[in-house]
A and B are shown apart, each in its own frame.
Chain A
C-alpha cells in the first residue's frame, strides 16, 4: 500500500484512540476582555490532564460583548472529566476559587443540556445569607455581595455526556524547532474550531504518556516508544531521523468536533511541508481496545 503523504509529510496509517468524557461550558464575563481572559486562564490553569489535575479544561474562544448575557466582554471555557460527580466538584471549585475571586467577573451557563450542573446553586452559599436570587427570562441567577461589588452567577449550566477526550496528533520531526513551529501553528488553527480545546500548555504536550509503569503506584509514565533518546530500543516507533516528537491533545463536546479539529490540525502541521523538518504525523492509541472513539488519520485526511 502506498504511503499517504501530505506535502511530503508522511501520515502514518494509524488512529487516535479517544475516550468518552462528560463536559460543560461556562461563559465568564468581566469589565474588560483582558480581565475576562485572566479569569478564564486562572480557572483553566492546572487542567491539562485528568491523570492528576482532576479535570481537563481550556479556553474555547473569546465571546464578543454582543453575545454575552450581560453585554460585557467574555470568554467561553470548556471543562471535561470522566464522570459527572468529578465535573461538578471541579466546576464548583474552579469557578469558586478562580472566577468568583476575579475582579468584576460574572459567570453564566454556556451549554444547554438535559443534564445540568450546579453553578450559582452551590456558590451562592458564599453569600452567607446576603445572596439574592433573580429569575430573568426563566433562568435563575444569583447575586452574591462581595468586596468588589456583586458577583452574578447563573444557577446552573448544562452538561453533555457525549464529550470526547484524548483526540491526539503526534508530530515527528528532524528538529525540536521544526516540530514546535508546526505544532504551534496547528494549535492556533484548532483554536478556531468550535466545541474543542487543547488543554495542555499552549495546546502542546511534550511528554506523552503510556498507561502504567515499572514502578508500583505510578499510573502513567513516559511514552518511551516515542522518546527520541530511546530509539535504540526494540519498542521504538521512531524513524532514525527523529529528533523530537510533540503531541497535540484535543478534547471536544462531540466526536465530530474532535474529528474536525484533527483535520484542521493535520493540514496546519503539514502546511510547512517536509522541508520544514516535520517527517511524520501519527497518533496515539492503546491497540483499540480501551477507547470507543477511533480517529483514523487516513480517513481524516482523505
Chain B
C-alpha cells in the first residue's frame, strides 16, 4: 500500500494545526473524511482538502510534501507509525509523541519533540528554540525517546529534559540543557552561553571544549567512560557514526542546584 501523502498546494494564509493528521486519528477514515478535517488556527475555517492534495492509502505511513514553517504540530501525540516530511515543519513537531518515527528533510520550528515520551524524531537541518523542551501544560520536557538534529539548534535545547537522548550535529544556542533533570544531550558543534544551567542529573556531552563554561561546574579531570562506548555502539546501530571514544573530561554540576549532572568533554 502506498503512503498517505499530503502535498501542500501553496503557502497557507494562516498557521496550520496538523495534529489530527496522525495514524491513530486517520485510521478508518476515507479520503473525503480526511479532506474534511479542520486544520485551521484562526476564525477562518480551513480543511485538509483546502490546503493539501491528498493521495495514497496507508495511514501508518504518512508523507508530507512541500510543507513550510507554518505547518505546526506535525506528528504531535503520535503513537506509532511513520511520518516523513519532505519540506520544513512548524512548531511543536512531534510534541508529546509516544512512539513512532518522524523524519524531516528540512528544518523544524520551535519546541520540536517537546515533552515527547518515546519514539524518534530526525530533522536533517535546523530546529528552533526549546527542542525536546516543555510543551504547554506540561511540567517536564522530553521524557523519553530520541531526537537527532543534523544542523543547528536554538536556545534551551532539552529544557527540563527528564529522559531520552538528543543529538545535535551543529551548534546549539544558549542555555543548552537548561534546567534539565536527567537525560543526555550530545553536542557535536558546541553550544552558546550558560550550557547546563540548573542541570540536576543530566549529561551534556561535548565533542569539543565549550567556549563558555558555567562557574558552577567543577572539574573531575579526564578518565575512561565505558558509557561513552556503549552510547557510540548504540548510535552506530541507529545509523549514526559519531566517534565518541572512551575518554572524556568530566565536570560535575550544576552545583547551584543538585550538582549530580555532568558535562563530558571528549578528549
Contacts and interface: CB of A to CB of B under 8 A. Distances in A.
Given A149-B223, A150-B223, A136 B229 contact: no
B234 A149 contact: no
B165 A136 contact: yes
A132 B260 contact: yes
Secondary structure at the B interface, as helix, strand, loop or mixed, is mixed
B144 interface: yes
Interface string A112-136: 0000000000000000001011111
A152 B228 CA distance: 10
Contacts of A141: 227, 230
Interface of A: 29, 68-72, 104, 106, 130, 132-138, 141, 143, 149-150, 152
A101 B113 CA distance: 40
B107 interface: no
A149 B227 contact: no
Contact of B226 (A132, A135, A150): A150
A234 to B, nearest CB: 61
Contact of B224 (A68, A71, A132, A149): A149
A143 B238 CA distance: 22
A136 B260 contact: no
B96 to A, nearest CB: 18
Interface in B162-176: 163-165
A137 B232 CA distance: 12
Nearest to B165: A136
List the 9 closest A-B pairs by CB distance, nearest first: A70-B229, A70-B230, A152-B226, A71-B233, A106-B226, A149-B224, A136-B234, A149-B223, A137-B234
- The winner among A69, A104, A130, A134 for most chain B CB atoms within 10 A is A134
Contacts of B230: 69-70, 106, 136, 141, 152
A135 B184 CA distance: 9
B203 A134 contact: yes
B194 interface: no
- Of the listed residues A133, A137, A149, the one surrounded by the most CB atoms of chain B closer than 10 A to its CB is A137
Nearest to A71: B233
Which of B223, B233, B260 is packed against the most chain A CB atoms within 10 Å? B233
A143 B227 contact: yes
